[in-house]
Amino acid sequence: MDNAAFVRDFVRQNDPDRFFASLFAPQDERAALLAIAAFDAEIASLRGKVREPMAGEIRIRWWQDRIDAEGNSATGNPLADELATVIQTHGLPKTAFSTYLDARLFDLYDDGFPARGDLEAYCGETSGIMLQLAAMVLDRDTASRAADACGHGGCMATVTQALRWRNQPARLRPYLPGDLLAAIKLDRQHFGEAGHEERSGAAVEGLQAIAREHRSAFLAAAAALPDTVRPAFIALAPSAAAVRQAGRLAGPLARRWQMLKVGVGGWPAR
């Protein structure tokens, strides 16, 4: 199996939304979009694969070294080798990947974001950058106009994904901004614990409000972009729909229907 085929199967299994969304892109660009999606899925999964944060840091630094390397020598890792080819072929900025990898170090620890701005910066430097790179693959001239859609879309998606863990307090706690917790007088370690149900619910509602704000801004920005870059954002359709349903993501078939509607008809007005 060649690298492109391996990456295609990897994304199909590990990020089915982005695999489905890639089908709306021109055939010549699908492999590049899938390589970016595979890289993101692999790095995002590190927390669940390592026992100690340092092991995750070592893995992230390996990826950084691979991306920084000159030329396109094979490593034997099909995800990394395919990504290196895509970076070279499309002239993607290596600094964007460096920013992304640095931001992903947050995933390895339980420190939590001090303030909403820190959460939003993380979203922009992770999901937002991946959207920007996908837009560059599809239409480099338009990608520079897609910054707002990428930033707001990344925040909407990341916060919505985090809200899946509302019943797993230990996983959601790091995503609760410290200034939000301070406003409702809730210590981070008490989120989700008995006796703190009301304030914990208020914290979840605060995150939902953040997602709603970014959804509105994203839809306005996405509506102004040409169809050439739409495939970069189609995988956000389930998150956009979930924001209207108190952050609850739909099942696989419903998610495909949500993406299909966007892929064919564009984004809703609100």
Judgement on whether residues 152 and 204 belong to the same structural domain of the protein: yes
Average pLDDT over residues 23-30: 97
Domains identified in the chain, total number: 2
Residue pLDDT, tens place only, 247-266? 677 899 999 999 999 999 99
Judgement on whether residues 164 and 56 belong to the same structural domain of the protein: no
| CA distance readout (Å), 120 to 106, 214, 246 | 13, 10, 19
- Nearest in space to 161 (alpha carbons), one of 129, 119, 200: 119
Judgement on whether residues 10 and 58 belong to the same structural domain of the protein: yes
Q: 62, 89, 109 — which closes off a domain?
A: 109
- Whole-prediction pTM value? 0.95
Return d(Cα 145, Cα 254) in angstroms, integer.
30
- Grade residue 2 by pLDDT with cuts at 50, 70 and 90: very high
Judgement on whether residues 154 and 53 belong to the same structural domain of the protein: no
Residue pLDDT, tens place only, 99-154? 999 999 999 998 999 999 999 999 999 999 999 999 999 999 999 899 999 999 99
List the single range of 20-24, 74-78, 88-92 with lowest mean pLDDT.
74-78
Question: What's residue 73's pLDDT?
Answer: 72
Judgement on whether residues 2 and 79 belong to the same structural domain of the protein: yes
Judgement on whether residues 125 and 247 belong to the same structural domain of the protein: yes
Judgement on whether residues 71 and 8 belong to the same structural domain of the protein: yes
CATH label of the domain that carries residue 141: 1.10.600.10
Judgement on whether residues 90 and 136 belong to the same structural domain of the protein: no
Q: Is the pLDDT of residue 270 over 80?
A: no
- Could you tell me if 249 and 151 are in contact, meaning their C-beta atoms sit under 8 angstroms apart? no
Residue pLDDT, tens place only, 163-212? 999 989 999 999 999 999 999 999 999 999 999 999 999 999 999 999 99
Judgement on whether residues 220 and 90 belong to the same structural domain of the protein: no
Q: 68, 85, 109 — which closes off a domain?
A: 109
- Grade residue 43 by pLDDT with cuts at 50, 70 and 90: very high
Question: Could you tell me the maximum CA-CA distance found in the chain, to the nearest angstrom?
Answer: 58
Judgement on whether residues 173 and 58 belong to the same structural domain of the protein: no
- Could you tell me if 225 and 149 are in contact, meaning their C-beta atoms sit under 8 angstroms apart? yes
Judgement on whether residues 181 and 83 belong to the same structural domain of the protein: no
- Could you tell me if 246 and 165 are in contact, meaning their C-beta atoms sit under 8 angstroms apart? no
Q: 56, 84, 109 — which closes off a domain?
A: 109
Return d(Cα 260, Cα 234) in angstroms, integer.
8
Q: Give the DSSP letter string of 199-265.
A: HHHHHHHHHHHHHHHHHHHHHHHHHTS-GGGGGGTGGGHHHHHHHTTTT----HHHHHHHHHHHHHH
Q: In the structure encoding, which two tokens stand for residue 152, read together? A: 């707001």
Question: What's residue 72's pLDDT?
Answer: 67
Return d(Cα 222, Cα 154) in angstroms, integer.
12
Q: In the structure encoding, which two tokens stand for residue 95, read together? A: 């600094």
Judgement on whether residues 102 and 118 belong to the same structural domain of the protein: no
Which residues form the domain of 227?
A: 110-270
- Nearest in space to 32 (alpha carbons), one of 73, 91, 116: 91
Residue pLDDT, tens place only, 202-245? 999 999 999 999 999 999 999 999 999 999 999 999 999 999 87
- The contacts of residue 85 (CB under 8 Å, 6+ apart) are 3, 35, 72
Q: Give the DSSP letter string of 150-171.
A: HHHHHHHHHHHHHGGGTT-HHH
